[in-house]
């Protein structure tokens, strides 16, 4: 219990010699000028395998509780020791692993706001990587109150950047006169994101049809009221 395990900072540094430091590498995180420590360097391959196995399990098992260190180790083909050398416990591992879901989708700049929104929405519910991201989303949201730090980080690094892409498109639409000048951007965000996330997880509704993104965007654009 007294064992003080080295807590790795979330900072990233370029690798120096031999080890081609890639982004987000947990093992090579050390100041740029520092000398390489003695001994065998940590395996970047193990790093990646662990993080990928963690994310996969989180998506598949439908909950933080379903992710066990032993299952991650087995799936990644590494020993538990190798995991505990890097992270102090399960929550820390999952928090770090979420970085793997970080990269935002680019904001398309098409002919119109409508087209941009549809493109984003389509990527949101159909893209293969985003499928995993959505599964992780539901897994994490389910156990939200249990792991507030996990929630906070996931919200900050994964959810918000995505909301921001849409937010930007909406604001651009207002400026360009394509959307109402008095548009309630945040409410519109809840509507579109909510519809997509819910539909993607709906039970018994089958896979999301190809035209769902367009239907959502059009319904939101034109409104449901008679005119």
- The site partner of 128 among DNA, a second copy, none (C-beta below 5 to 8 Å per kind) is none
CA dist., res. 101 & res. 57, Å (int): 14
Nearer to a second copy, 10 or 152 (CB): 152
C-alpha to C-alpha distances, 95 to 50, 102, 109, 153, 225, nearest whole angstrom: 13, 12, 32, 7, 44
Is 160 in contact with 189 (CB distance < 8 Å)?
Answer: no
**Minimum CB separation from DNA for residue 61, in Å?**
9
The answer to the question of residue 61 lying near a second copy (CB under 8 A) is: yes
Residues that bind DNA (CB under 7 A): 1, 3, 5, 7-8, 10-12, 14, 17-18, 27, 35-43, 46, 67-71, 77-82, 84-85, 88-90
Nearer to DNA, 85 or 215 (CB): 85
Stretch that binds a second copy, among 28-36, 47-55, 103-111, 174-182 (CB under 8 A): 174-182
What x/- string results for residues 13 through 52 when contact with a second copy is judged by CB under 8 A? Answer: ----------------------------------------
Among 182, 175, 217, 173, residue whose Cα is nearest residue 199: 217
- Using a CB cutoff of 8 Å and minimum separation of 24, what contacts does 105-110 make? 105/130, 105/162, 105/165, 106/165, 107/165, 107/168, 107/169
Q: Out of 22, 201, 207, 210, which residue is the one contacting a second copy (CB under 8 A)?
A: 201
The answer to the question of residue 120 lying near a second copy (CB under 8 A) is: no
């Amino acid at each position: 219990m007294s064992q003080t395990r080295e807590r790795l900072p979330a900072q990233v540094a370029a690798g120096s010699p031999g080890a081609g430091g890639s982004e987000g590498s947990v093992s090579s995180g050390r100041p740029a000028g520092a000398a390489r420590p003695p001994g065998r360097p940590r395996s970047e391959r193990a790093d990646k395998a662990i993080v990928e196995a963690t994310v996969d399990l989180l998506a598949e098992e439908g909950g933080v509780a379903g992710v066990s260190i032993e299952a991650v180790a087995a799936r990644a083909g590494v020993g538990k020791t190798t995991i505990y050398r890097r992270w102090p416990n399960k929550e820390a591992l999952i928090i770090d692993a979420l970085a793997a879901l970080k990269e935002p989708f680019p904001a398309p700049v098409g002919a119109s706001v409508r087209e941009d929104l549809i493109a984003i929405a389509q990527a949101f519910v159909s893209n293969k990587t985003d499928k995993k991201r959505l599964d992780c989303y539901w897994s994490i949201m389910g156990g939200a109150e249990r792991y507030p730090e996990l929630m906070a980080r996931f919200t900050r690094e994964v959810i918000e950047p995505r909301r921001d892409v849409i937010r930007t498109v909406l604001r651009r639409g207002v400026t360009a006169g394509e959307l109402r000048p008095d548009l309630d951007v945040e409410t519109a965000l809840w509507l579109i994101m909510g519809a997509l996330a819910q539909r993607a997880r709906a039970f018994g509704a089958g896979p999301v049809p190809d035209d769902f993104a367009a239907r959502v965007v059009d319904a939101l654009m034109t409104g449901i009221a008679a005119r």
